[in-house]
Amino acid sequence: MRRRHLLQALPGCALLPALSTLSNGSARAATASAPAGWPQRPVTWILSQPPGSGPDNVARLLTERLARHWGQAVVVDNKPGGQNTIGAQAAARLAPDGHGFYFATTAALVTNPLLFKSLPYDPQRDFTPVAFVARSPFAVLVAGDSPVRTLDELIARAKARGGALALGNEGPRTFSGMIARLLNARSGMNANLVPYASVGVGTQDLMGGHVDAMVADLAATAALARQGRLRVLATTAGRRVAGWESVSTLAERWPGLEMVGWFALVAPAGSPTAVIERVNRDVQALQGDAELATRIAAIGPLVEPGLDLAQTAAVLQTERQRWTALAREIGVLPE
């Protein structure tokens, strides 16, 4: 999950080219230095998720501490909807003055371009990487009273039922939907993929016996799993997840397979270089706070070791390549 061996190799990776051109083709030059006395007014973090969501809770833990350190309020501005497009577009339009950032998810920065023919923002041209924050694995789950206890048993059961096994997910244009399709492709289980509007509705149906299994965000289902109402068969992390060491990973069956969500902080293209460097250093310092990391882990995501700007940019590029290859494997086409 942590893939520390990869991260340790990242310092030698080159920083990606500056992302300072807007999606409409107009140039926005990066400022060489931060405005005097930055921050001069409250700083805004736009989120594409609603208040109370996992990303929102993580962002607020970070912004509370940064506000105290910077001596200015850090305002979390929630703009959910449109599969992250509403928030991402708003963030791309922020003035590049070092007072606005986007707390982005994998979907907003990496997978949306694979799923949509057109977007009102360009994930690479409209944003500059600032800090990589945390990873959030997904899980393959069954009801707590299910006779299925391992991933191998689920696959065998699906094959024996000839496609009749129902595998819940959040739809074909979502993370869990893509993972469910990949699970079908790699295992040959040919499960019937059942889309749900939300994890909550899906897990209720799973516990009620209306579907046989489900792919969902581990953070969103961890409480029910710890209560014994759900059983985690496997996670989608590259290595076993802290706190879930007894649970196998898909990578143990298919080496190299890793499909996890993550959070990264980015800034509008053209934001002051000195501000970006300052924010990266300050976020790295927070990531070294054991108490904060524990609080974030209680929400679900696991904090990454602090990455500098070059490492952050390299990770985002690696993730684009990873998800592009996986989308090609399962035949995902933008719509």
Q: What is the pLDDT of residues 180-216, one digit of tens each?
A: 999 999 999 999 999 998 899 999 999 999 999 999 9
Last residue of a domain, one of 198, 223, 253: 253
Give strand ranges (E) for the chain.
Answer: 43-47, 74-78, 100-105, 127-143, 166-169, 192-195, 213-217, 230-235, 248-249, 260-268, 302-303
The C-alpha atoms of residue 12 and residue 234 are separated, in whole angstroms, by 33
Residue 136 has pLDDT above 50, yes or no: yes
- Answer whether residue 4 shows pLDDT above 90: no
Same domain, 16 and 124: yes
Mean pLDDT of 299-304: 83
- The residue among 189 and 53 whose pLDDT is bigger is 189
Q: What is the CATH number of the domain that holds 193?
A: 3.40.190.10
Confidence (pLDDT) at 36 = 65
**pLDDT of residue 18 exceeding 60:** no
Taking all residues of the chain, what is their mean pLDDT, rounded to a whole number? 88
Query: Which domain-ending residue is among 196, 228, 253?
Result: 253
Taking CA atoms, 97 is separated from 32, 65, 137, 235, 308, in Å, by 11, 21, 34, 40, 21
pLDDT of residue 213: 98
270 and 247 within one domain: no
Q: Does residue 29 lie within any of the structural domains?
A: no
Q: Does the pLDDT value for residue 23 go beyond 80?
A: no
Q: Is residue 146 domain-resident?
A: yes
Give per-residue pLDDT as tens, 78-100. 999 988 999 999 999 999 999 99
- Work out whether strand 166-169 and strand 192-195 pair parallel, antiparallel, or are unpaired: parallel
Q: Domain with 72 in it: what CATH number?
A: 3.40.190.150
Given 253, 284, 305, the domain boundary residue is 253
Q: pLDDT value at position 39?
A: 96
Domain assignment of residue 31, yes or no: no
pLDDT-derived band at 48 (thresholds 50, 70, 90) equals very high
Are residues 15 and 108 both part of a single domain? yes
CA 258, distance to chain mean position in Å, is 12
Are residue 111 and residue 215 in the same domain, yes or no? no
What's the confidence (pLDDT) of residue 7?
33
pTM passes above 0.85? no
For residues 145 and 229, membership in a common domain is answered with yes
Tell me the pLDDT tens digit for each residue of 256-294. Answer: 999 999 999 999 999 999 999 999 999 999 999 999 998
If asked whether residues 52 and 142 sit together in one domain, one would say no
Over 90: is that where the pLDDT of 73 sits? yes
Separation between Cα atoms, residue 87 and residue 148, nearest integer Å:
40
Q: Would you state the pLDDT for residue 275?
A: 97
pLDDT value at 19 more than 90: no
Q: Are residues 124 and 220 in the same domain?
A: no
332: number of CA atoms within 13 Å, CB side? 28
Q: Is residue 177 part of a domain?
A: yes
Range of the structural domain that residue 216 is part of: 137-253
Q: How far is CA 110 from CA 44, 96, 259, 263, 315, in A?
A: 22, 22, 12, 11, 11
Residue 97 lies in a domain: yes
Do 68 and 202 lie in one domain? The reply is: no
174 and 243 housed in the same domain:
yes
